[in-house]
Amino acid sequence: MPKLQLKDALFLGFCAVFIVAAKLMFRWHLNISGHSMFFTMFFLILARASVQYRLAASFTGLLAGLVSIMLGMGKGGPLLLLKFLLPALVTDMAFLLTPMIPYSLWMCILTGGLASASKFISTIVVDWAVGMDPDVLINHAILKSAGAVLFGSLGGLLVPPVARKLRAHGIIHDQRTSTR
């Protein structure tokens, strides 16, 4: 696996900061479950599309989760890290299977939806840790993850036009011609 270059690490750090900043700025109580996955999935997919490091999304998710924990955002304390790492890991796995995801609208939508579906697992872990009844726990996790899948898919929908612009300006390189 190639080393992560400084410029790539800085870009991933900026993506992580933008995830946390979007969560801070848009702390609207919309009573719509999963709306925060919109920006999370956009920046995770964009981070992985822009940096040709195999664990770019995971590194971004880890940074965003650690910053969120340090700022005391959300519920769950250290378990908050799961809410960022699980979608990032799914994103990285999707890019291992299909590296050309950022140039296909449907693949970005699918990746955003699948990665957001991991909210089901993180919700179950947090709810179980606080001692929620198993029947309520499953229903709560399904409701939260359904909204997350919708908003994650919409966030993935924005990646292809941005990736095409970044590639046209030479900021990111085509994955097909990469030697890494």
Q: Is residue 43 part of a domain?
A: yes
Q: Is residue 1 part of a domain?
A: no
Q: Is residue 177 part of a domain?
A: no
* Tens-digit pLDDT string for the chain (180 aa): 568 889 899 999 999 999 999 988 877 666 677 788 999 999 999 999 999 889 999 999 999 999 999 988 877 678 888 889 999 999 999 999 998 898 899 999 999 999 999 989 988 988 888 888 888 999 989 988 999 999 999 999 999 999 999 888 887 766 554 444
Q: Is residue 175 part of a domain?
A: no
Q: Is residue 180 part of a domain?
A: no
Q: Is residue 85 part of a domain?
A: yes
Our CA angle for 56, 58, 61, nearest 5°, is 110
| Angstrom distance (rounded) from CA 134 to CA 22 | 32
Q: C-alpha distances in angstroms, 84 versus 25, 81, 172?
A: 17, 6, 24
Q: Which domain holds residue 51?
A: 6-170
What domain count does the chain have?
1
- Where residue 164 sits, what CATH number does that domain have? 1.10.1760.20
Q: Is residue 152 part of a domain?
A: yes
Whether 12 and 59 have beta carbons less than 8 Å apart is answered as yes
**pLDDT at position 30:** 67
Cα Dmax for the chain: 53
pTM greater than 0.85: yes
**pLDDT at position 59:** 95
**pLDDT at position 80:** 84
**pLDDT at position 32:** 74
**pLDDT at position 178:** 47
Task: List CB contacts of 175: < 8 A, sequence separation 6 or more.
Answer: 52, 99, 100, 102
Q: C-alpha distances in angstroms, 106 versus 52, 54, 102, 128, 135?
A: 21, 21, 9, 34, 34
Q: Is residue 176 part of a domain?
A: no
Residue 4 DSSP code = P
Helix/strand/coil for 91: helix
**pLDDT at position 83:** 87
